[in-house]
Amino acid sequence: MALNLNTPALDDKPTTKAETRLEYINRSLAVLHSESTLDIAYYLLRELEILNRQKVSASQRLQALDTYKPILVKTAQSLADVYTNASLPLQDKAKLAANATELLWLELGYGYKLALIDLQNQLIKLGTEKNSARAIHQAMHAISEQAMVCYQTYAAPPEHIWSDLHQLYICATQLDLQNFSQNLNVENAPASATTNPAISIENNYKIALLMSLADTKHIAQHDIRLIADYLTYHVERAVITNATPEAISNSTFLISLESNKQPSIYRSQKESPNPTSHMLLHTIDLIRAIHDDLNLLQNQQLPSNGSIPSIAKRDDYISLLTYLIKHWGVTPTRFYHRSSKNGDIELVSGIFAIHKVSSDIIKETSKQEGLQHKIQKTTPSHWQILNISATGMSIKRHPTAKKNIQIGSLLGIKTKSEQAWSLGVVRWVSCGNHEKLEIGVELISPNAECAIAVINDMEQDEMVLLLPAIIATKQLASLVAPIGTYKAARSLTLLNNNESKHVILTKLIERSSHFERMQYSVIS
């Protein structure tokens, strides 16, 4: 097939000749250990930009790229630690790290795609299969990692990513190379994994497809990589087949090979697929495997296949696997209609900020002095309402609003005409250029009371929020507290409105990276 991959134009008369001598490349890389991570990234970018914009033989290009890749992977992972733990929208340091990482993977992908094009344009292709397989595999991996940066920063991946991935997969199948396997990079494996599965070209392609179907704007930044790592152990159970009209299922997705589009739900298609330009991705067996792992976790066991590290937080993985089952199996349906609404809303983030704007109950007592440093001056940010439903809303950040949003953040929100602060949780995030940020907020309570929790087996009191029961939705009264507060049958004393009551914690409703929400019973 004729490849029309996204690559830079080649300069017939470059001013600087690309370095392809491996001994010189290795010598230059060896002295970079004392440089900062960002400086190393910029050095690699300069060298790759030179290499990817002039004619070099396919074998020389592949050898040079393979030499650069180990340090590029290590550098990209160090930079990822900066932006995957940052609040949104990204501030200067995190933004530089994300941009550099995306460019590193872009340039690495350029190089392997250029090598593949040269290999396919040779008149005599005898003996080129191994190099073609390497080029396809590594190009697909680099493109997938570029998309990963977009997922972890809640930005839309460039459209050409899908066109390139589809073409690379078609090329592999035509050359009968789809089962070529390779360990892409050991560093991406889960921390305590006993094995690092070699990934075939087809499985690499399926991971990219499944990551797009995971709807990552609903997932915390650090959990997005966990999904990709987890998939390496089960991706073989997802199956790609030819498109047939009778294969309608909740666990089937349509791949449009001649498009710039990610896969879509097969049952939503109005027309029958074209067998020459469409394929199907079936996830039913993958869902069964995830169910098996989920059952083990719920029974306080770990899967023996190494897919979940022994040091992992089991509750986090239980939530994550439940989410994946919904998105790769039965597609979620929205039950409430969203209507457009204009207007501004005030917003604060976190239990401590909600306390500050809602209450003055923090007193200068000896045991509560430790809480004082947590209560800083809090000024609500202004956001714009985009649309609203019975259970939530989507809102857009004003340019002057604080940069303190993450998936799972607890929010206090209200309009200027309202007296009470409603409580919501950030469920999805979408970032754009120029610090544009839109978020989806699920409303969990129309109001909350501020209280102090005195916990016998903890050194310091905690600020908590008391959520009322809502009869209409059969929602019981609950308590929102910092992470680490919940323990089954833990007793504590709640100080609120100059009164105290003793309660016992009965059930954990939700735990995010920022708070715990739990039910409780009053003892006295």
The pLDDT tens digits for 264-275 are 988 756 677 888
Whole-number pLDDT of residue 249: 63
CA dihedral sign of residues 263, 266, 271, 277? positive
Q: Give strand pairing partners of 423.
A: 412, 445
Whole-number pLDDT of residue 190: 38
Question: In whole angstroms, what is the distance from residue 206 CA to residue 403 CA?
Answer: 35
Which of the two residues, 315 and 213, has the higher pLDDT score? 213
**Can you tell me the mean pLDDT for 472-477?**
81
Q: Which residue has the tokens 């392997």?
A: 112
Give me the helices (H) in 340-465, please: 351-358, 369-372
Pairing outcome for strands 392-397 and 264-265 = unpaired
**Can you tell me the mean pLDDT for 199-224?**
95
Neighbour-count burial of 505, counting CB atoms closer than 10 A to its CB (0-12 exposed, 13-18 middle, 19+ buried): buried
pLDDT over 60 (residue 368): no
Which of the two residues, 343 and 445, has the higher pLDDT score? 445
Whole-number pLDDT of residue 452: 94
Whole-number pLDDT of residue 188: 42
As a whole number, the mean pLDDT across the chain is 88
Whole-number pLDDT of residue 31: 93
Whole-number pLDDT of residue 1: 65
Q: Give strand pairing partners of 289.
A: none
Query: Tell me, what amino acid is at 490?
Result: R
**In the structure, what pLDDT confidence band is assigned to residue 116 with cuts at 50, 70 and 90?**
very high
Question: In whole angstroms, what is the distance from residue 180 CA to residue 178 CA?
Answer: 6
Provide the strand spans (E) within 130-221: 181-182, 199-200
Could you tell me the maximum CA-CA distance found in the chain, to the nearest angstrom?
A: 87
Share of the chain above pLDDT 90, in %: 68
Please name the residues in contact with 33: beta carbons below 8 A apart, sequence gap of 6 or more: none
